[in-house]
Amino acid sequence: VQQSNGDLLTIGTSCNTYLLVMWQRYSVAARRLSSSSSQHQIKSKPIETISLPQLSSQDINSHEHQLAIADAIRPYHQSQTPLLLTNLNSKCDAIYFWRSIQYWQAAVPENTPVDVELGRSYNTGNRVSMKFGDYLDYLSKVTEQEEKDTEQHEEVAYLAQNELFAEVRNDIPTPHFCSDGSFNVGEGKLYHSMLWLGPRGTVS
């Protein structure tokens, strides 16, 4: 899931670790500049890591802990340094439910329109529209096939950069500083909450 509040704020899950990465405010075009075409080539900074204590959803939503999270992030935000926060939401519902195709089928109406990339990377394929239920049927078949065949297939459909469905938005707590400028992290304006979903081998 990607959420932005002026700067690029990316949140994703990996096993029982919840990742929050703050990335530099570089445009896509700027990142693609080669050394031959630009005298000011952008060099990415190394990612810093902070491990937070595991908290329940109720505890993490308290003002005290939200302030502690904002205090931990603030210096990295000000220096535009990528930051990885582990354990931030390791006990949220998304960690347990989102890995299940059956959960998505039950939570989100099958006729919900989505945009899908035909290709392994979200920015390299053709983008088409389809129903979310049809995409889940495809994903279920691909998953079954992958369990029998270890070889990755070239043609894949990747649900990339779609607005997070309202039906599952409460599964993942949003840090308060994303929508509250008083925490002094970014502008305090939550513009989008984005979702990427795909089979093995897809790349964001």
CA dihedral 76, 79, 82, 83 (to 10 degrees): -10
Output the tens digit of pLDDT for each of the chain's 204 residues: 444 444 333 333 333 332 333 333 333 333 333 333 444 444 677 888 888 776 666 677 788 888 888 998 899 999 999 988 887 777 888 989 999 999 999 999 999 999 998 876 656 668 899 999 999 999 999 888 877 776 666 678 889 889 999 999 999 888 888 889 999 988 888 888 899 898 887 877
Alpha-carbon span 115 to 118, nearest angstrom: 10
Counts for the chain of helices (H) and strands (E), in that order: 6, 9
User: Judging by DSSP bridges, how do beta strands 126-131 and 157-163 pair with one another?
Assistant: unpaired
Give the pTM: 0.68
